[in-house]
Structure 1
């Protein structure tokens, strides 16, 4: 399959958004970019603005997907979140979630095996 990582990553983000919508999140932004980096999904969950990193893997051979959101990645996400909040003037609480997805390719198409939302994944 051509560009496996991109296909599986895009599939994972689509599945994450569908799952978040089913769980009453209101999607505010997707793939928000600024000079500091990118956040996959920005949503509202109740009174919280939630900055969500989506990690999709084909298996857990090298660890669970959330483990890829290391200290360096967390710092970048926090920087982007600060920039976003400064420009949008939100005053509600904030939270950082990670959505981890395990997906496989079957018959040249991605198929989701599992999905998990880790709320308050880091501070």
Structure 2
């Protein structure tokens, strides 16, 4: 089961990456990780540097992407983003936290939903 979830996650992240590039985002980095946590995608959308969490789900009986991101997870993403900002010296930029939901169904089709400015801390 764990390998299915992992491969579903990788596939979802790949689709999400293609999706945001089609939407005009400029890719900065994928899978940034440090001792605090990981950010799936970091990209530029106009004037914003976006820290993007990708949530991939399979089937019909699942909670939404936002429902699955707990306050603790949001805080971890925020701290990781803060570390990234300091490491890259991005003090003059404007930031946003986006979430991309990739839903797969039983026919191997998918639906992608982008939620801009999904949360703030």
Judge same fold: TM > 0.5, yes or no: yes
After superposition, give the CA deviation of every residue in 1:29-83 in whole Å (9 maximum; x if it has no partner): 1000011000000000011000000000013413112311110100000000000
CA contact (8 A) 2:65 2:99 kept: no
In the alignment, which residue of structure 1 is the partner of 2:63? Answer: 63
Superposition RMSD in Å: 1.6
SS in 1 for 2:16: helix
Alignment partners' CA distance in 1, 2:117 and 2:2: 35
| Paired residues for 1:1-123 under 5 Å | 3-90=3-90, 91-104=92-105, 111-123=108-120
SS in 1 for 2:41: strand
Structure holding more strand per residue:
1
Structure 2, unmatched stretches of 5+, are none
Q: With the length of structure 1 as denominator, give the TM-score of the two structures.
A: 0.90
Q: With the length of structure 2 as denominator, give the TM-score of the two structures.
A: 0.91
Structure 1, unmatched stretches of 5+, are none
